Amino acid sequence: LKIKFEQLLIPPKEFRFKQTLGYLARTNNECLYKVKNETVYKLILLHEKKVLLSVSEAGENKLIIRFHCVIPEESIRMEAAQYVWDWFDLNRDLAPFYQLAETDPILQKLIEAHYGLRIVGIPDLFEALSWAIIGQQINLTFAYTLKTRFVETYGEHMEVDGNKYWLFPTPAKIAGLSVDELKGLQFSQKKAEYVLEVARRMEEGSLSKKKLSQLKSFSQIEQELVKIRGIGSWTANYVRMICFRDPTAFPIADVGLHNAVKQFFRLDQKPSIEELKKMFANWPNWEAYVTYYFWRTLY
DNA sequence: TTCCAGGGTAACG
DNA sequence: CGTTACCATGGA
């Protein structure tokens, strides 16, 4: 890929790009970015323009963003840097989290295995909600299949050097679809209805990341989200976690978390909700990070 | 073939 | 309010 411009990013101390890459490369089924040669490539939309960027490590814990398209203007380069900063959750101060581990053997073990791992987010609210809805109650492999069909049917792409890079579909594109069209991709009736409802609300403007961000608390964001059909506690917390960057978000009903905890402690059966509440009470304000670190123990 | 998957809704008591 | 049946489809 031809490099048109480079931009340096200096992440905080408690960050290891290797961990981010490990997460990004956890599956071959992801259609919204590619990982190759320790570099992640992603197409994003900035000011209506498709911008293909890559992120890799440059020297000691520095990141370098490269642009593989027309040379973006200064303001767009800054927004791209901001995007990556948010995507990798580089704004979070992990020092208190790691301090908490000093007197906690469970956290110590988790952090030892994943030091420098940050929650890789989904900054786009429509994508975050849609992906959560798609993933409800089906195995992840099939969830990726559905997402890929959805993206490649309704999303835009850019082709560079024979590779296609995709954007997640916009609410505007999806809002006009019918349930049957999504069922054609093997969405269930309910999933199709839920995704369409979210798209319509976003297209109409009553639902937006900006509006929700202006609320006073993350719990208010959750209250607003669960008013929408198809969005329950798990989905709302998942989205608080990966889109709104709430470290206290806690998708406690998550099957992946249950399996991870079961395996981590070699339990005979999955932990109950009460047991999880009790356990996580040791990690106040870091529920999202502990959940994420547990997830990583599965792959 | 059976079990279950990064849940949610609606009906019921 | 807490519980339960049901949804719906593919993966392993």
Q: Could you check: is the Cβ of residue A22 within 7 Å of any atom of nucleic acid strand B?
A: no
φ, ψ for residue A193 (rounded to 5)?
-60, -45
Q: Could you check: is the Cβ of residue A231 within 7 Å of any atom of nucleic acid strand B?
A: yes
Give the per-residue pLDDT at A2: 67
The DSSP bridge pattern shows strands A163-166 and A39-46 to be unpaired
Give the per-residue pLDDT at A59: 84
Could you tell me the distance in Å between the CA of residue A273 and the C1' of nucleotide C2?
Answer: 14
Q: Could you check: is the Cβ of residue A259 within 7 Å of any atom of nucleic acid strand B?
A: yes
Closest nucleotide to the alpha carbon of A132, via C1'? B6
In three-state secondary structure terms, A24 is helix
Listed as ranges, the nucleotides of chain B within 7 A of a protein C-beta are: 4-10
Residues 6+ apart with CB under 8 A from A109: none
Assess contact for A213 and A240: CB atoms under 8 A.
no
CA proximity to A160, closest of A68, A282, A39:
A68
Active-site residue flag, A86: no
Tokens of A188: 């269930």
Tokens of A83: 């995007």
pLDDT for A121-154, tens place per residue? 999 999 999 999 999 999 999 999 999 999 999 9
Give the per-residue pLDDT at A60: 82
φ, ψ for residue A238 (rounded to 5)?
-60, -40
Q: Per-residue pLDDT tens, chain A, 299 aa: give them.
A: 666 678 899 999 999 999 999 999 999 999 999 999 999 999 999 999 999 999 999 988 899 999 998 777 888 899 999 999 999 999 999 999 999 999 999 999 999 999 999 999 999 999 999 999 999 999 999 999 999 999 999 999 999 999 999 999 999 999 999 999 999 999 999 999 999 999 999 999 999 999 999 999 999 999 999 999 999 999 999 999 999 999 999 999 999 999 999 999 999 999 999 999 999 999 999 999 999 999 999 97
Q: First-to-last CA distance in chain A?
A: 30
pTM of the model: 0.96
Q: Could you check: is the Cβ of residue A138 within 7 Å of any atom of nucleic acid strand C?
A: yes
Could you tell me the distance in Å between the CA of residue A264 and the C1' of nucleotide C7?
Answer: 32
Give the per-residue pLDDT at A3: 67
Q: Let me know the angle formed at the C-alpha of A30 by A53 and A242, rounded to the nearest 5 degrees.
A: 80
pLDDT for A229-261, tens place per residue? 999 999 999 999 999 999 999 999 999 999 999
Q: How many residues does chain A have?
A: 299
Residues 6+ apart with CB under 8 A from A83: A44, A46, A123
